[in-house]
């Protein structure tokens, strides 16, 4: 995926982002492993939308910007608003996966007038005593992101294939470091009290093999957001954008276009 | 420590093995919280791993007793060879203060006492003066008598202690 660059006027940060396709603008916010291996889902979404996928501060080429962000949602959200302003986008669809879904929800809660429709895939940020996910940061250092995938082979394929082994492993660890800044030690971001502010029609997607955000989180997100639908993808874990990009892209497209989806996809 | 190398191996090998194979275990999830190491450190560690090297202490579990001693994972043996190993350490590392952990693994109390006593009576006198020509600036020494605090008489009780502190408290709060 080819990355473009812009410098935000207000924040003064360099943003590396992918942009392709035609149609309504769709801001795509990546998960814990950055834009790694988003290729296929991105291409599929670009068939129906003008997709903008920025690398968040702390991830990938923006790894050194992590220290510019406070731990809470404010800096990240302002940064995302800066990107929209600099691209001249007043109102967009927003889709996010994992930590990106948390950022998307914050954006929709803090600046509801900027978000048309919202898709949250395996969103982190709620803490449910009765449905605790596994800790994505207490992991074996030799296979740090394994928990996110349905099998060790899936991780090997998506993290290492076609890349230098050391570089891939280092960026895997750095991407998790960025996620940990916002989610460690307990992934409770305080968003539960801001969710009622979201006005955008929202689709919440959970995955039945997700060990980080158990499917049981789905109904909690749905209840807290005014206009929310919930659907569950079967047979996939925390990173459906990598393991089943086609299915996820279809689901996102269907909701953004028709505003409704089947409860089980 | 024992009288001979063979005796040391007989007495201590199983306890050293217990230490290296069981006491150094860390749950892998606690080994490396994200963000704990810099990128340069991560990279250096990966490069070392890929070259087939490892600095992990528990590598010693796979070694023979003789290799453990030879490679310096432990200092052990008969009196003469322990003196030799200690001297090699002190001179090789150019250090005048060695901190010795005389107990490891599941070594029983009596055995540890026996070993410690041999170390104290037969080894320390031989190595104490390795750097004898230098002044020791670093070993802790007792405080001068007039600087020491006199322990409070416990029979006077806690409230009396507060009474004693009152003048100091008044100074700190400007007399209020």
Q: Where are the domains of chain A?
A: 4-258
Q: How far apart are the first and last CA of chain A?
A: 28
ipTM, two decimals, is 0.79
* Tokens of residue A45, six digits: 């979404």
Looking at residue A159, the DSSP 8-state letter turns out to be: I
Residues in chain A closer than 8 A to B42 (CB atoms): 169-170, 173-174
Taking only the tens place, the pLDDT of each residue in B35-84 is: 888 899 989 888 776 665 555 555 788 899 999 999 999 999 999 999 99
3 state SS for chain B: CECCHHHHHHHHHHHHHHHHHHHCCCCHHHCCCCCCCCHHHHHHHHHHHHCCCCCCHHHHHHCCHHHHHHCCCCCCCEHHHHHHHHHHHHHHCCCCCCCCCCCCCCCCHHHHHHHHHHHHHHHHHHHCCCCCCCCCCCCCCCCCHHHCCCCCCHHHHHHHHHHHHHHHHHHHCCCC
The answer to whether residue B117 sits within a structural domain is: yes
Give the integer Cα–Cα distance in Å for A136 and A172: 12
For A156-211, the pLDDT digits (tens) are 999 999 999 999 999 999 999 999 999 999 999 999 999 999 999 999 999 999 99
Confidence band of B13 (pLDDT split at 50, 70, 90):
very high
Q: What is the pLDDT of residue A222?
A: 98
How far is B38 from chain A, CA to nearest CA, in Å? 9
Tell me what pLDDT residue B50 has: 64
**Which residue has better confidence, A143 or A122?**
A122
For residue B141, tell me if it sits in a domain. Answer: no
Question: CA nearest A58 in B: which residue?
Answer: B35
Parallel/antiparallel/unpaired status of strands A14-20 and A50-54:
antiparallel
| Residue from the list B32, B39, B43 with its beta carbon closest to the beta carbon of A141 | B32
Instruction: Specify the pLDDT at position B166.
Output: 67
Average pLDDT value for residue range A242-248: 95
Q: Measure in Å the smallest separation between the Cα of B34 and chain A Cα atoms.
A: 4
Task: Please give, rounded to a whole number of angstroms, the shortest distance from the CA of B49 to a CA of chain A.
Answer: 10
Q: Which of B32, B39, B47 sits opposite A174 (nearest CB)?
A: B39
Residue with tokens 């007399």: B175
Residue A59 has pLDDT above 90, yes or no: yes
Taking CB atoms and an 8 Å limit, are A137 and B39 in contact across chains?
no
Kindly give, in sequence order, each residue whose CB lies less than 8 Å from that of residue A31, ignoring residues fewer than 6 positions away: A96, A97, A98, A99, A100, A101, A122, A148, A238, A239, A241
Decide if B46 and A170 are in contact by the 8 Å CB cutoff.
yes
| Phi-psi label, residue B52: left if phi above 0, alpha if psi -120 to 50, beta otherwise | left
pLDDT at residue A194, as a whole number: 98
CATH T-level fold of A4-258: Rossmann fold (3.40.50)
pLDDT of residue B37: 86
Q: Which residues of B touch A173 (CB under 8 A)?
A: 34, 37, 42
pLDDT in tens, B161-171: 666 666 666 66
Nearest CA in chain B to A176: B34
In the structure encoding, which two tokens stand for residue B29, read together? 């999830």
Q: Are B39 and A176 inside 8 Å of each other by CB?
A: no
- Measure Cα distances from B97 to A230, B50, B92, B136, B140 in Å: 67, 36, 13, 9, 11
Tell if the CB–CB gap between B33 and A180 is shorter than 8 Å.
yes
Residue B172 pLDDT > 70, yes or no?
no
What is chain A's mean pLDDT, rounded? 95
Residue B136 has pLDDT above 80, yes or no: yes
Are residues A140 and B46, on separate chains, in Cβ contact within 8 Å? no
Per-residue confidence at B140, pLDDT binned at 50, 70, 90? confident
Taking contacts as CB-CB distances below 8 angstroms, the residues of chain B near A159 are none
Least Cα separation, residue B40 to chain A (angstroms): 9
Question: Given an 8 Å threshold on Cβ–Cβ distance, is B34 in contact with A135?
Answer: no
CB < 8 Å & 24+ apart, contacts of A162-171: A165/B50, A166/B43, A166/B46, A166/B47, A166/B50, A169/B42, A169/B46, A170/B39, A170/B42, A170/B43, A170/B46, A171/A34, A171/A36, A171/A60, A171/A63
Let me know: does A59 contact A29? Beta carbons within 8 Å.
Answer: no
Asked whether A239 and A149 are in contact (CB, 8 A), the reply is yes
pLDDT of residue A233: 96
Domain region containing B61: 5-127
pLDDT tens track for B75-125: 999 999 999 999 999 999 999 999 999 999 999 999 999 999 999 999 999
- The pLDDT assigned to A38 comes to 74
| Yes or no, beta carbons of B50 and A173 under 8 Å apart | no
- My answer on whether omega of the bond before A185 falls inside 30° of 0, hence cis, is yes
Task: Please answer yes or no on whether B35 and A177 come within 8 Å at the CB atom.
Answer: yes
Instruction: Say how many domains are in chain B.
Output: 1
Strand A92-97 versus strand A202-207 pairing type: unpaired
Contact B50 A165 (CB under 8 A): yes
Let me know: does A180 contact B35? Beta carbons within 8 Å: yes
Q: Does a structural domain hold residue B172? A: no
Please check whether residue A162 is in contact with residue A239, taking contact to mean a CB–CB distance below 8 angstroms.
no
């Amino acid at each position: 995926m080819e990355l473009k660059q812009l410098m935000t006027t207000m924040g003064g940060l360099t943003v590396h982002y992918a942009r392709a396709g035609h149609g309504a603008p769709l801001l795509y916010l990546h998960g814990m492993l950055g834009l790694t291996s988003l290729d296929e889902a991105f291409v599929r979404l670009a068939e129906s939308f003008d997709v903008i996928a920025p690398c968040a501060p702390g991830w990938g080429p923006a790894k050194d910007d992590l220290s510019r962000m406070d731990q809470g949602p404010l800096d990240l959200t302002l940064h995302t608003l800066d990107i929209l302003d600099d691209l001249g986008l007043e109102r967009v669809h927003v889709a996010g996966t994992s930590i990106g879904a948390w950022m998307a929800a914050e954006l929709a809660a803090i600046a509801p007038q900027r978000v048309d429709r919202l898709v949250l895939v395996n969103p982190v940020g709620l803490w449910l005593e009765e449905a605790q996910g596994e800790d994505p940061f207490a992991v074996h250092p030799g296979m740090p992101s394994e928990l996110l995938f349905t099998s060790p082979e899936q991780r090997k394929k998506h993290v290492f294939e076609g890349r230098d082994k050391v570089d891939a492993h280092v960026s895997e660890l750095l991407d998790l470091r960025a996620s940990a800044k916002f989610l460690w030690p307990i992934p409770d971001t305080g968003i539960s009290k801001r969710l009622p502010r979201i006005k955008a029609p929202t689709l919440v997607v959970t995955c039945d093999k997700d060990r980080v955000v158990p499917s049981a989180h789905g109904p909690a997100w749905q209840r807290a957001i005014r206009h929310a639908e919930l659907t569950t993808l079967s047979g996939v874990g925390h990173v459906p954008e990598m393991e089943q990009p086609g299915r996820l892209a279809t689901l996102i497209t269907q909701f953004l276009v028709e505003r409704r989806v089947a409860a089980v996809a | 420590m024992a009288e001979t190398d063979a005796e040391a191996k007989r007495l201590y090998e199983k306890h050293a093995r217990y230490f290296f194979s069981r006491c150094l275990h860390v749950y892998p999830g606690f080994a490396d919280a994200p963000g704990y190491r810099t990128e340069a450190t991560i990279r250096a560690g990966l490069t070392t791993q890929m070259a087939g090297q490892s600095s992990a202490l528990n590598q010693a579990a796979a070694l023979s007793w003789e290799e453990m001693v030879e490679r310096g994972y432990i200092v052990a043996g008969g009196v003469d060879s322990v003196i030799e190993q200690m001297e090699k350490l002190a001179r090789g590392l150019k250090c005048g203060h060695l901190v010795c952990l005389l107990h490891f693994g599941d070594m029983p109390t009596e055995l540890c006492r026996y070993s410690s006593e041999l170390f104290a009576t037969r080894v320390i006198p031989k190595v104490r003066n390795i750097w004898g020509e230098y002044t020791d600036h670093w070993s802790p020494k007792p405080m001068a008598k007039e600087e020491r605090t006199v322990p409070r008489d416990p029979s006077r009780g806690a409230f009396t202690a507060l009474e004693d502190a009152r003048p100091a408290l008044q100074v700190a709060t400007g007399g209020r």
